[in-house]
C-alpha cells in the first residue's frame, strides 16, 4: 500500500513514495527533494512569490521522478498525501492541487498532512518506535517540546517565546555574511572555531517551565560581532562555534527538564524515547548534547538521518500512510492553512492513552 507524498510548504519542492514491507516495517521507495536555495540566494531569505512559481515549474517533474524511482504508476498507489499547512500559502496551493488532481484522476483517497506532523512522525519512519514518546521539534519556524501520545494526539509542553532556533541559525549566518540556509553553514564554520572565545547567554536556563528563548542570544552575538569587528575568518569561526555551543546548551538544559517530567509521567515505559526532528536536528553538536541528556535520563535518543530532518516528502508520505491506515482521509475540498498548530484542533485518532 504505497502512498505518494508531496511537500511544497516552503522552499523545497519534494515528492516521495513510502509503503510497508511484509512485516509492516515502513519502506521509503523514493525520496526526491529539489531545493530552491539558488532562486532565493540574492534576497537573503525565501521570497513567497518566487517559491510558488518555482514549485509550479518543478513539481510535475519531481513527482514523475519519484514515481520512476519507486518503479510504480499512479494506479499502484493506495492514496495521495500532500502538505496542506502550515507554510507559505502559494506553495501549499500548488502541492495540494497537484496531489488532489492525481487523486481525483485515479479515484484515490487524498490525505491532507500537517507539515509539523510530518516532522513529528519521521522518527517512526526511520526507527522502531512506539507511542508515546517525547519529541524535540527544532526547525526553521518552530522550537517545541511535545508529548506525542499517538497519531494526531500532540501535547505541547514548551515552545519558544521569541525566535525559532533554525531562524536564529539563519540570522547568525546572515550577520556573519555566510550563505543561506544558515544552519549547515554555521555548523561547517563552527567546526574550526573556539566555542569558549565568546561568552554568550543561555536564556531561560534552569527555569521550571519548558519554554525556549533565542532573541537574547541573537542580540548578544551581534554585540560580540560588532565589538570584534573587523572580523577575520578566525573571528567568524569562533562566533559560529560560540553560538552553536550556546544553542546546544540551551536545548540540552530545557530537554533535561522535559525528560524529568516525561520519566515522572510515564514511569513504566519499557522503551522510553526522546526523538528529535526538524532541520536543526541535523546539527551534530546538538545531537551530541541531546544524546548525553538522553543517556543520563536512561532514555533512548532517536535522531533521523540529517536528510530526513530537513524538509522532505518522505515524512509527508509516511504521515499520510499512518493517517490512511487509521481510516483518516480528507475530501478534495480540504483547505490549505498558513497557520496550523500541531496541538490545537488536531483530531486524536489512535495511540496511547486515548
187 known ligand binder? yes
Binding to ligand ATP (CB under 6 A): which residues in 282-301?
282-283
What's the CA gap between 240 and 200, in Å, rounded?
A: 11
**Residue 150 contacts which entry, Mg ion, ligand ATP, Fe ion, none (Cβ below 5-8 A, type-dependent):** none
140 known ligand binder? yes
| Residue selected from 184, 193, 272, 304 as contacting ligand ATP according to rule CB under 6 A | 184
Q: Is 11 in the site for Mg ion (CB under 5 A)?
A: yes
Q: Is 139 in the site for Fe ion (CB under 5 A)?
A: yes
User: Could you give the maximum distance between any two Cα atoms of the chain, in Å?
Assistant: 63
- Nearest-approach distance from CB 268 to ligand ATP, in angstroms: 32
- Convert residues 83-122 into a mask of x (bound to ligand ATP by CB under 6 A) and - (unbound): --------------------------------x---x---
Please state, in angstroms and as integers, the Cα–Cα distance from residue 294 to each residue in 74, 237, 247, following that order.
42, 29, 17
Binding to ligand ATP (CB under 6 A): which residues in 5-34?
10
283 known ligand binder? yes
71 known ligand binder? no
What's the CA gap between 312 and 301, in Å, rounded?
A: 21
Please state, in angstroms and as integers, the Cα–Cα distance from residue 278 to each residue in 234, 260, 292, 308, 348, following that order.
29, 22, 19, 8, 22
Strands 3-7 and 12-20: what pairing? antiparallel
138 known ligand binder? yes
Give the angle subtended at the CA of 278 by the CAs of 259 and 288, to the nearest 5°: 55
Q: Which is nearer to ligand ATP, 5 or 272 (CB)?
A: 5
Report the interhelical angle of 182-190 vs 284-297 (nearest 10°). 80
Q: Is 310 in the site for ligand ATP (CB under 6 A)?
A: yes
What's the CA gap between 177 and 219, in Å, rounded?
A: 16
Q: In what order do the strands lie in the sheet with 143-150?
A: 153-159, 143-150, 133-138, 273-277, 300-302
The interface region with ligand ATP, picked from 152-160, 182-190, 319-327, 336-344 by CB under 6 A, is 182-190
Q: Is 167 in the site for Fe ion (CB under 5 A)?
A: no
Binding to ligand ATP (CB under 6 A): which residues in 152-181?
166-167, 169-170, 181
Phi and psi of 313, rounded to 5°?
Answer: -100, -10
Q: Is 278 in the site for ligand ATP (CB under 6 A)?
A: yes
Q: Which is nearer to ligand ATP, 70 or 83 (CB)?
A: 83
| Residue selected from 253, 311, 322, 330 as contacting Fe ion according to rule CB under 5 A | 311
**Structural element, H or E, at residue 254:** helix 233-265
Residue ranges in contact with Fe ion by CB under 5 A: 139, 311
**Binding site residue list:** 115, 119, 137-141, 170, 183, 187, 283, 311
Amino acid at each position: 500500500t504505497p502512498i505518494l507524498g508531496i511537500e511544497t510548504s516552503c522552499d523545497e519542492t519534494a515528492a516521495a513514495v513510502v509503503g510497508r514491507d511484509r512485516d509492516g516495517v515502513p519502506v521509503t521507495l523514493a525520496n526526491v527533494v529539489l531545493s530552491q536555495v539558488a532562486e532565493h540566494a540574492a534576497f537573503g531569505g525565501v521570497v513567497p512569490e518566487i517559491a510558488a512559481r518555482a514549485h509550479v515549474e518543478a513539481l510535475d517533474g519531481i513527482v514523475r521522478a519519484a514515481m520512476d524511482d519507486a518503479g510504480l504508476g499512479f494506479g499502484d498507489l493506495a492514496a495521495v498525501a500532500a502538505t496542506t499547512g502550515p507554510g507559505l500559502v502559494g506553495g501549499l496551493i500548488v502541492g495540494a492541487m497537484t496531489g488532489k488532481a492525481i487523486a481525483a484522476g485515479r479515484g484515490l483517497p487524498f490525505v491532507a498532512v500537517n507539515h509539523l506532523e510530518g516532522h513529528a512522525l519521521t522518527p517512526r519512519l526511520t526507527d522502531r518506535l512506539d507511542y508515546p514518546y517525547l519529541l524535540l521539534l527544532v526547525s526553521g519556524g518552530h522550537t517545541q517540546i511535545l508529548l506525542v501520545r499517538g497519531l494526531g494526539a500532540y501535547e505541547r509542553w514548551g515552545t519558544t517565546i521569541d525566535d525559532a532556533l533554525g531562524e536564529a541559525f539563519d540570522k547568525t549566518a546572515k550577520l556573519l555574511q555566510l550563505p543561506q540556509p544558515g544552519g549547515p553553514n554555521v555548523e561547517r564554520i563552527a567546526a574550526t572555531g573556539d566555542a569558549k572565545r565568546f561568552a554568550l547567554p543561555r536564556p531561560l536556563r534552569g527555569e521550571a517551565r519548558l519554554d525556549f528563548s533565542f532573541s537574547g542570544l541573537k542580540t548578544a552575538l551581534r554585540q560580540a560581532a560588532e565589538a570584534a569587528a573587523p572580523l577575520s575568518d578566525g573571528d567568524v569561526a569562533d562566533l559560529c562555534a560560540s553560538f552553536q555551543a550556546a544553542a546546544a546548551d540551551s536545548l540540552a538544559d530545557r530537554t533535561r527538564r522535559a525528560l524529568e517530567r516525561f520519566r515522572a509521567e510515564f514511569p513504566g515505559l519499557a522503551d522510553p524515547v526522546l526523538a528529535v526532528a526538524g532541520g536543526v536536528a541535523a546539527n551534530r553538536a546538538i545531537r551530541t548534547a541531546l544524546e548525553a541528556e538522553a543517556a543520563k535520563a536512561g532514555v533512548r535518543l532517536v535522531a533521523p538521518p540529517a536528510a530526513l530532518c530537513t524538509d522532505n516528502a518522505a515524512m509527508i508520505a509516511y504521515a499520510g500512510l499512518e493517517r490512511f491506515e487509521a481510516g483518516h482521509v480528507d475530501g478534495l475540498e480540504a483547505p490549505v492553512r498558513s497557520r496550523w498548530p500541531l496541538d490545537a484542533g488536531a483530531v486524536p485518532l489512535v495511540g496511547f492513552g486515548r
